[in-house]
Structure 1
Amino acid sequence: MLRKIRQILALVFFVCITLLFLDFTGTVHAWLGWMAKIQFIPALFAVNTAVLVFLFLLTFIFGRVYCSVICPLGVMQDVISRISGMRKKKKNRFTYSTAYFYLRNIVLVIFVAAFFLGIGSVVALLSPYSSYGRIASNLLAPVWQFGNNILAYFAERADSYAFYSTEVWIKSLPTFIIALVTFVVIFILAWRNGRTYCNTICPVGTILGYISKFSLFKVEIDSEKCKNCRLCSMQCKASCIDIKNHSIDYTRCVSCMNCLDSCKHDAIHYVPSFGKKKKDNEQKEAKSVETDNSRRTFLTTAALISAGSALKAQEMKVDGGLAKIIDKKVPHRNTPILPPGALSKNSFAKKCTGCQLCVSVCPNQVLRPSTDLMRFMQPEMSYEKGYCRPECGKCAEVCPTDAIHLVSLAEKSSTQIGHAVFIVENCVAVKDGVECGNCARHCPAGAIKMIRRSEGDKSSPQIPSVNVERCIGCGACENLCPARPFSAIYVEGHERHRMI
């Protein structure tokens, strides 16, 4: 029964969190957005004390159920492992292996160092929630959107608008490659050995593993009833049951309950562990050094993390159906553009985990993962396919770490995230001698006005003049500029946002 309950809850969490990354309409987040906010790393970066206390207590009472129920990357590994067992027709295929404590602790130290130093790219690579977010948004979302477009195609011909098509494109090739490599590595490890990634690489698994070592409820083996048949050990995807010594490595056990149903001698149970005495004193003495080291590592890590938390219009492709329009290229920006609510470059870099949730839900297609090494995979804005509309706040609504702080639409319209820069040699009015004024007509802040290039000469072409004090950096001018491949006007980001 415990195993069935765990499987149902895990499936619900896995499907719902996946939908958060697949839903390009943003409607699912109103109901399921809280599932992203209770993930360990987002809660840590958001300094969400209530969630962190809940997860620590959950682990202290029941063991690492977070890893087997709430974490989408962990559940994905279980699904892959389950399929592997069905194809190989081997239900009992796992064996006990010793823990790689040194590797786990080294990865944990790297993660904590990156957390303190604000190296978001390293955190994004090691965070299990962010890793799954990249897999879902880069590998699954295009397939989902392509299927949606097929339905939209047939619905349109049936005079139905239940579906609408959306553009399928790769927002960042490096991030796509990393997502693909991450998936392949985790797939191979899970296919062959179950929870290898969770118990050797994942820093969240290591942190919670040290807590689960002292959990109140544990899976325990009754040595008097045990016949050493090894069925429980062969069912353990965490490879943590040493049936020879009738012991379990609780730092790796994810409380999946698979071992409970496999025992035919009623020798293994999920029971309260408090108040019980060790039956084997020699075994206790042999493991005392390891236990002390584990306790010290956990306390040190918890102290470091606590201290760190305290500090912390779809574009038309043809012109009149006659001439094909050349795609715009990304201009060079000295400072990246961050969405309203990010506050500043440093603040955003320290809080963002690069989970890609905001990139997936952005209806204007202005967010995409950064390729800068210091901010690798963290979102930044660019306006080739759209601009940041004043009436939209989807990215802030879904951000689980509050890296993009949710502000009112009035505040957003008054937040200066950058300013427009005019490149006179790119302007069609200068190059082709035609009247344009597209940037001035569509500027929502009224920061652009058209002036004669040569003052007093009425035959001189009109070019835009930007009031940088009034410009909010929304990118409407850059996006709607007809110049190709580079716009005649582009937005330069600000390191620190300000109200105007």
Structure 2
Amino acid sequence: MLRKIRLILAVLFFIAVTALFLDFTGTIHAWLGWTAKVQFLPALLALNAGLIIALVLLTLLFGRVYCSVICPLGIFQDIVSWISGLRKKKQYRFSYSPEKKWLRYGVLGVFIIALVAGIGSFVALLAPYSSYGRIAANLFAPVYRLGNNLLAYFAERADSYAFYKTEVWMKSLSTFIIAVITFVVLVILAWRNGRTYCNTICPVGTILGFFSRFSLLRPVLDAEKCKNCSLCSHRCKAACIDYKNHRIDYSRCVACMDCLEICKHDALHLQSRLKNRNQHRDGSIKQVSADQIDNARRSFLTATAVVATTAALKAQEKKVDGGLAVIEDKKIPVRATPIIPPGAWSARSFAQHCTACQLCVSVCPNNVLRPSTDLQKLMQPEMSYERGYCRPECTRCSDVCPSGAIRPITIEEKSSTRIGHAVWVKKNCIPLTDGVECGNCARHCPSGAILMVSSDNDAADSVKIPVVNAERCIGCGACENLCPARPFSAIYVEGHGLHSIM
């Protein structure tokens, strides 16, 4: 019964977190956004003390339930391992292996040093939620959107608007490659040995494993009833059951409850750690009453439910001009200072709190956010305006960020926040290069920061060129995106390392 409940909760959490990265309509986050915020590292970086304490207490009560129910990367490994078992038609393919402390705590030490030093790219490589986020955003989401576009294609021909097309493009080659490598490594490890990554590399698993050594309720192996059949050990994907010595390594046990189900001799029970004080001197354990087991089950369900509940359109661009001339794609300008989203407030704070999970990149409706290729901020999102601009009425990225790197911001605050300023490039401006009127940048500037003036003060009929009032510019990028100059815009945005309010 406990295993079935765990499986149901795990599947629901996995579907919910995955849906956050696949959703491009902005409707799912209002209901399921909390599933990203209850992840361990985002909660830690957001300084959400209440949630961190709740996760630690959950671990002290029931062991590493977080790893088997809440963490999407852990559940993903379970799915791969389960498929492997079906394919090989071999359920009992695991075996006990001693703990590799030097590797577990070595990786944790390096992870903590990188976290304190602000090396976000290294932290993002090891963090389980971030790793799964990159896989979902770079591998699962494009397939999902292509499927949506296929449905939209057929729906359009049936005069139905139930689906609409959405753009599919590679936001960062380096991040895509890292996501592919991570996916392949995890699939190989899970296919062969189950939870190898969780119990040897994952820093969050190591931290929670320390607390799970002292968990109140845990599976206990009764030496008197055990027949040394090894079924529990061969079924344990965490490789933590030493059936020969009747011991379980609770720091690696992920509370999957598989061993309780597979034991055919009634030698494994979920038991309170305090009951171990009543053991016989020969090491055997007294029989646990049915009432005690029922109470443990009720406690498990109640605590899990409490933690879970309280933790609580754009059409595609045309590629031709009037069907006659091909429009050349814009190229990214060289920016001295990268642009970070409104709500981040400063580049330093953003780099320290961002987990590079790609959730904000996935949900950006204007295709403005994409992973950075800078080695120091690798995979962390930055803004660029080749495919769209940051609309003042959109606060999607600040709504979904689980780590506090992009703090919640209102529409009014965003409209008055200066994240950058526009810079005019004379040699690219169409009025000067082609001798025709334009003014596109001034017409579309939402803050009125661009004024068109005569290019020649002595000639009243001279073409007009833009002049930027940097004090009024909010850096939204409307001017850069809508500038008709190709391949480089005649006006582009330089970021501000520290945001300010007008």
Shared fold (TM-score, shorter chain, > 0.5): yes
Establish whether residue 220 from structure 1 lines up as the match of residue 201 from structure 2: no
The corresponding residue for 1:85 is 85
Q: Structure 2 regions of 5+ residues with no counterpart?
A: 284-313
- For 1:245 and 1:158, how far apart are their aligned partners in 2? 67
The corresponding residue for 1:361 is 363
- For 1:263 and 1:235, how far apart are their aligned partners in 2? 10
CA shift at 1:281, angstroms?
8.6
- For 2:46 and 2:406, how far apart are their aligned partners in 1? 10
Q: Structure 1 regions of 5+ residues with no counterpart?
A: 284-312
- The count of aligned residue pairs is 471
The corresponding residue for 2:447 is 445
CA shift at 1:461, angstroms?
2.4
**Counterpart selection for 2:414 from 407, 412, 430:** 412
C-alpha offsets along residues 456-480 of structure 1, whole Å, 9 cap, x if unaligned?
A: 2234321110000000000000000
Establish whether residue 200 from structure 1 lines up as the match of residue 196 from structure 2: no
- For 1:334 and 1:98, how far apart are their aligned partners in 2? 51
Alignment of 1:41-440 (within 5 A): 41-277=41-277, 314-440=316-442
- For 1:387 and 1:475, how far apart are their aligned partners in 2? 5
Instruction: Say if 1:317 and 1:252 are closer, same or farther in 2 by CA, change over 3 A.
Output: same
- For 2:339 and 2:25, how far apart are their aligned partners in 1? 23
Q: Secondary structure at the match of 1:321?
A: coil
Counterpart of 1:158, as a letter, is: A
Counterpart of 2:56, as a letter, is: F
Q: Secondary structure at the match of 2:219?
A: strand
- For 1:65 and 1:271, how far apart are their aligned partners in 2? 15
Counterpart of 1:26, as a letter, is: G
Q: Which moved more, 1:429-438 or 1:76-85?
A: 429-438
Q: Does the 8 Å contact 1:451/1:465 carry over to 2?
A: yes
The corresponding residue for 1:297 is none
The corresponding residue for 1:3 is 3
CA shift at 1:274, angstroms?
1.4
The corresponding residue for 1:479 is 481
The corresponding residue for 1:463 is 465
Counterpart of 2:5, as a letter, is: I
- For 2:12 and 2:340, how far apart are their aligned partners in 1? 33
Q: Secondary structure at the match of 2:191?
A: helix
Residue identity over aligned pairs, in percent, reads 67
CA shift at 1:315, angstroms?
2.8
Counterpart of 1:361, as a letter, is: V
- For 1:444 and 1:176, how far apart are their aligned partners in 2? 34
CA RMSD between the two structures: 1.3
Counterpart of 1:202, as a letter, is: C
Counterpart of 1:114, as a letter, is: A
- For 1:189 and 1:345, how far apart are their aligned partners in 2? 36
Q: Does the 8 Å contact 1:315/1:386 carry over to 2?
A: no
CA shift at 1:279, angstroms?
5.9
C-alpha offsets along residues 309-359 of structure 1, whole Å, 9 cap, x if unaligned?
A: xxxx54321111111111111001111101110000001111110010000
Q: Secondary structure at the match of 2:276?
A: coil
Q: Secondary structure at the match of 2:270?
A: strand
Length-normalised TM-score, structure 1: 0.93
- For 1:183 and 1:454, how far apart are their aligned partners in 2? 59
- For 1:456 and 1:111, how far apart are their aligned partners in 2? 64
Instruction: Say if 1:280 and 1:428 are closer, same or farther in 2 by CA, change over 3 A.
Output: farther
- For 2:279 and 2:199, how far apart are their aligned partners in 1? 27
Q: Which moved more, 1:151-160 or 1:211-220?
A: 151-160
The corresponding residue for 1:303 is none
- For 1:282 and 1:474, how far apart are their aligned partners in 2? 73
C-alpha offsets along residues 264-303 of structure 1, whole Å, 9 cap, x if unaligned?
A: 10001111111423869999xxxxxxxxxxxxxxxxxxxx
Length-normalised TM-score, structure 2: 0.92
- For 2:404 and 2:281, how far apart are their aligned partners in 1? 49
The corresponding residue for 2:299 is none
Instruction: Say if 1:280 and 1:387 are closer, same or farther in 2 by CA, change over 3 A.
Output: farther
CA shift at 1:162, angstroms?
1.2
Q: Secondary structure at the match of 2:274?
A: coil
CA shift at 1:123, angstroms?
1.1
Instruction: Say if 1:378 and 1:319 are closer, same or farther in 2 by CA, change over 3 A.
Output: same
- For 1:100 and 1:329, how far apart are their aligned partners in 2? 49
CA shift at 1:155, angstroms?
1.2
- For 1:402 and 1:66, how far apart are their aligned partners in 2? 21
- For 2:337 and 2:196, how far apart are their aligned partners in 1? 40
Instruction: Say if 1:280 and 1:436 are closer, same or farther in 2 by CA, change over 3 A.
Output: farther
The corresponding residue for 1:15 is 15
- For 2:436 and 2:280, how far apart are their aligned partners in 1? 90
